Amino acid sequence: MSQEQADLLPLPDEVDPQRRLLISAVLAGGFALAVQPVTAATIHTDSDGLVAGWHKAGPDLLLYAARPAQGSQWPVVLVVQEIFGVHEHIQDVCRRLAKQGYLAVAPELFLRQGDARGYPDTATLIANVVSKVPDAQVLADLDACLEYARVLGGDSTRAAITGFCWGGRITWLYAAHNPRIKAGAAWYGRLQGQETALTPRHPVAVAPQLKVPVLGLYGGKDSGIPLDSVATMKTALQQGSSGSEFVVYPDAGHAFNADYRPSYHAPSAEDGWRRMLQWFRRHGV
């Protein structure tokens, strides 16, 4: 039995029963709030030619991974979720990346705080789960995922990160945290915010010290991330030497890549995806 096959087996009996219930819920399906209403534009990427599925990298680390069925030593892309967890859309993003020759790894980053599924509205989800997740925990989990990617046959010396909304902010922070990754692509991630014990720094604060080149993909009609916030981030980046860049799509709002939601803006999403792949390859991933 391979290590990969072993990691897909049930967790040992000593795993906390509450944690076991959370893991079972994650494996059972998606988050209804995130995927309703499903739009006609929803993209489904099949698993033909891929190995895709869930892995238990430890009691507190559950991840979805997709990779080509043939070969090994694939470049690695860490995929960071929205607030809704690793539901079908994020899994599909992993499969899309795998079709491009990557090992894509998406960890369930809220597992210690609770299950994102079943909440009636985003405000309750944020209050009960998302707001309780420390940045330090997230960054450590991503470090562990990058290490685990080697178990799955990935080449962690050629690694990038991408994330959406909540995960877009984390993309900037992880690029500052781990200068060994080659590139990042942040989709409409918040750039500024209140400093707290759990979220002590935001992207604007880390921008001057950033070494990893990050491509920021943002919507000109995003009411939650105004253009003056993007301008502030650009100014902060100019104080450093990361070579990061922004693309702002004037006709797109927030979550323009979320093809399962009415916010989806196909021209911007398709162009952003193309630019992201070019960005990764340009920087050796």
Query: Hey, which residues are catalytic here?
Result: 165, 222, 254
Closest CA to 88 of 69, 109, 106, 67: 106
Give the position of tokens 């685990």.
148
Residues 6+ apart with CB under 8 A from 281: none
As a whole number of angstroms, the distance between CA 102 and CA 151 comes to: 15
As a whole number of angstroms, the distance between CA 187 and CA 189 comes to: 6
As a whole number of angstroms, the distance between CA 99 and CA 221 comes to: 31
Pairing of strands 74-80, 61-68: unpaired
CB count within 10 Å of CB 180 equals: 10
Q: How many CA atoms within 13 Å lie on the side-chain side of 82?
A: 26
